[in-house]
Amino acid sequence: MIPKSPTEHLLVEQEGYVLTITLNRPDRLNAISIPMLRALSSTLQAANVDRDVRSIILTGSGRGFCSGLDLKAQDPGSDSGDSVQLGGSGYQMFDLHNSPPIVINRMDKPIVCALNGAAAGYGMDLALGCDIRIASENAKMGAVFAKRGIVPESGGCWYLPRLLGWARAAEVAFLGDVLDAQKSLEIGLVNKVVPHDDLMAEAKAWALKIANNAPLAVQATKRMMRLGQDETFEAAVDHILLQLLPLTRTEDFRESLSAFAERREPTFKGK
């Protein structure tokens, strides 16, 4: 069972097999606090093992998708746990094993990012970790790490060369520019750009289409694609064959054959 809105700053809503997670600190452009990090990780982990979730939409409320980690200053003696501290004892707050970027990368359930506004820093890395990015015409990718004296610490250094190729990734990372929606589409950072008012409808249409496919096959395909990035071609083919054999014994595979023969849309059960 997916926890419903574990914090006011993270909204969770399920419609059919599609789970929508909304970062909800619009007054701070959805800057990620420590409670939000924990809630996002736990929600994603629960969704990954919930058979009633077949696809996920990750978006933000208000004008921004996510402006990054909440780095607002705290008093030295403060222990509110709301903001992220990079120095001193604050470093102990980071549990990389269960951090959202690591959790997202491990997930078999597909994630569609509905990029409603600016994604900067940690927010950009979160967006890059999603499988598909649908961007509002108002969306921006703030690849400004080099101008802040830091690196894309939460996946960007790994994702950018794989998504764009080395030269394009170097252009994005080294120049430190803010990329608007059309530029992001041109270089391959997003899949599609739509009018802002159509964003959620478009993201839901993609997520629903994914959810209507055989979920075990979709999840196995994502897993094989992810693991295949670090395998030789021969090893990947061998592992895919081992994954294929049990899929041919599922109810969903038999349903797909029946639906094809009967010229109708299949109804998959994830079994």
All domains of the chain in start order, with CATH: 10-211 (3.90.226.10), 215-262 (1.10.12)
- Can you tell me the distance from the alpha carbon of 206 to that of 184, in angstroms, rounded to the nearest whole number? 19
Poorest-confidence range of 52-66, 70-84, 158-172? Answer: 70-84
The answer to whether residue 83 scores a pLDDT higher than 90 is: no
The answer to whether residue 254 scores a pLDDT higher than 70 is: yes
Q: Please give the average per-residue pLDDT across 121-127, as a whole number.
A: 93
- pLDDT-derived band of residue 1, with 50, 70 and 90 as boundaries? low
The answer to whether residue 77 scores a pLDDT higher than 90 is: no
Q: Please give the average per-residue pLDDT across 261-270, as a whole number.
A: 94
pTM: 0.89
Buried b / exposed e along 219-254 (16+ C-beta atoms within 10 A):
bbbbbbeeeeeeeeeeebeeebeebeeeeeebebbe
State the pLDDT at residue 3: 65
